Amino acid sequence: MREVTIVGSGLAGGLLAIYLAKRGYKLELFDVRPDPRTIRAEDGRSINLALSCRGITGMEGVGIMPQVKKLMVPMRARAIHEMQGQIKFQSFGRHQNEYINAIQRNDLNKLLLNEAEKYPKVKLNFDTKLIDLDVDKKIVVFKLPDGTLLKRNYELLIGADGAGSAVREQLHAEHFVHASRTYLPYGYKELSIGEPAQDHLIHEHLHLWPRNAFLLLGNPNLNQSITGSLFLPNEGKNSFAELDNDLKIRTFFKKHFRMHMLKCPI
């Protein structure tokens, strides 16, 4: 029986674990973060995502779409909020059944981990940091929550640990790959827009407020609220650095997004 070590237990790692477990592999997942099923979702960051055909096809392959559908809100079109208040609607496809779906990342992650853990040959480890990797000897070293080190041999190692991948960094350090990071001068924050009480916030839509150098978008939730994600430059005009008090924030939202019309606790 082949054994697989997966670093990262997010959406990619969780779904991959289910696929491999169904094929009879013995699996162990390691993640530097806490178990998302035992903590509150991160505040201040966007935890919504759009699920389209590609992701749906992946989950249909392991038979979990009936459970996933219960967590989804269809977004049947884009609602583009222009500066003067007009709204334009854009379909995602040519046909009525072509749309994307809003889902909370943390809810989907929990579902995938629960499904993976149903297989007796799957073991999940959290708060466990990858600190060393020897590709030639096939040895990986993790730091456990109590500070002790876990050194083990692996047969097959898969890095599914995202943009800040520790696996990639170790491969770079070992000169197996060349990796570099370039950061955009932008940041983002999550905000709650509240319940869509008026027609201009139709629930089953992806709402966008494009404003040249910055953007606000809104994803619908199951509880009828909308989660907003604000993308701004880190520095300069209309930036996070500039919005350093409540008055500036309120003035900014009313000027650029007509937020006095929304149920937004700013």
pLDDT in tens, 53-68: 999 999 999 999 999 9
What ranges do the domains of the chain cover? 3-74+104-173, 184-261
**pLDDT tens, 113-159?**
999 999 999 999 999 999 999 999 999 999 999 999 999 999 999 99
pTM value is 0.90
Q: Class of the 3-74+104-173 domain?
A: alpha beta
Q: Got the DSSP string for the chain?
A: --EEEEE--SHHHHHHHHHHHHTT-EEEEE-SSPPTTSSPPPTTS--EEEE-HHHHHHHHTTT-HHHHHTT-EEE-EEEEE-TTS-EEEEESSSSTT--EEEEEHHHHHHHHHHHHHTSTTEEEE-S-EEEEEETTTTEEEEE-TTS-EEEEE-SEEEE---TT-HHHHHHHHTTSS-------SEEEEEEEEE---SGGG-TTSEEEEEETTEEEEEEE-TTS-EEEEEEEESSSTTSTTT--SHHHHHHHHHHHH-GGGS----
